[in-house]
């Protein structure tokens, strides 16, 4: 079995750049193509294939996944089993993927969980988006079409189909399929009670 230094040296000779090689962990079966940059404190578990000209940013954890060319991952991203990131996908900080297929140029910049899903080309996933894929008994799939815009803090209750070019308003909880080109808004009514905050503070101050 190869040592970590031997694995790193092999990839360096093949044109992979490690910013701080001693901080990176590789598996025996790791595949990394030339032109890819691996930043410090990256852990690459079993079954990982990384194509050319990618950037894996610091403190990211990858396992059992395929990353195609010109993809950016991290920092602080976790890519789990069965995930496929197509060309030019961008996955940012505190994004977790599990059995997720992100097609070309999908962006998910931060604070997101995408599990058991497929996402079409050029779709943007806002911060705080969650695919609720597990009901306590079974896993369910979410399909999101191409060129969609998913607003921040959207919750998808799988199984779901979201059509191409749909727009999901921020803060929505999606419980049914959304057709192509539709705008989906699912929010409780907002109530602003005049002087409500002052009344609550006044009550608090009068308590014994």
Residue linked to tokens 């995408």: 114
CA distance 197 to 35: 57
Catalytic residue (choose from 101, 110, 140, 205): 110
CA distances from 73 to 38, 95, 129, 181 (A): 10, 9, 17, 29
Q: Contact, 109 vs 127, CB < 8 A? A: yes
Dmax (CA) of the chain: 74
192 CB-near residues (< 8 Å, 6+ apart): none
110 is catalytic: yes
Q: In 3-state terms, what secondary structure has residue 4? A: helix
Catalytic residues: 110
């Amino acid at each position: 079995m190869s040592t970590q230094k031997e694995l790193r040296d092999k990839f360096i000779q093949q044109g992979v750049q490690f910013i701080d090689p001693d901080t990176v962990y590789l598996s025996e079966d790791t595949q990394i193509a030339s032109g890819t940059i691996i930043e410090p404190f990256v852990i690459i578990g079993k079954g990982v294939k990384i194509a050319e000209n990618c950037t894996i940013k610091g403190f990211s954890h990858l396992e059992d996944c395929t990353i195609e060319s010109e993809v950016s991952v991290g920092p602080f991203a976790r890519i789990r089993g069965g995930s496929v990131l197509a060309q030019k996908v961008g996955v940012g900080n505190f994004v977790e993927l599990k059995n997720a297929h992100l097609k070309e140029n999908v962006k998910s910049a931060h604070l997101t969980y995408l599990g058991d899903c497929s996402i079409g080309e050029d779709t943007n996933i806002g911060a705080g988006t969650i695919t609720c894929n597990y009901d306590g008994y079974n896993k369910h799939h979410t399909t999101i079409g191409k060129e969609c815009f998913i607003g921040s803090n959207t919750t998808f209750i799988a199984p779901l189909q979201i059509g191409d070019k749909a727009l999901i308003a921020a803060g929505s909880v999606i419980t049914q399929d959304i057709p192509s080109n539709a705008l989906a808004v699912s929010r409780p009514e907002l109530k602003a009670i005049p002087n409500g905050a002052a009344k609550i503070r006044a009550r608090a101050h009068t308590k014994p």
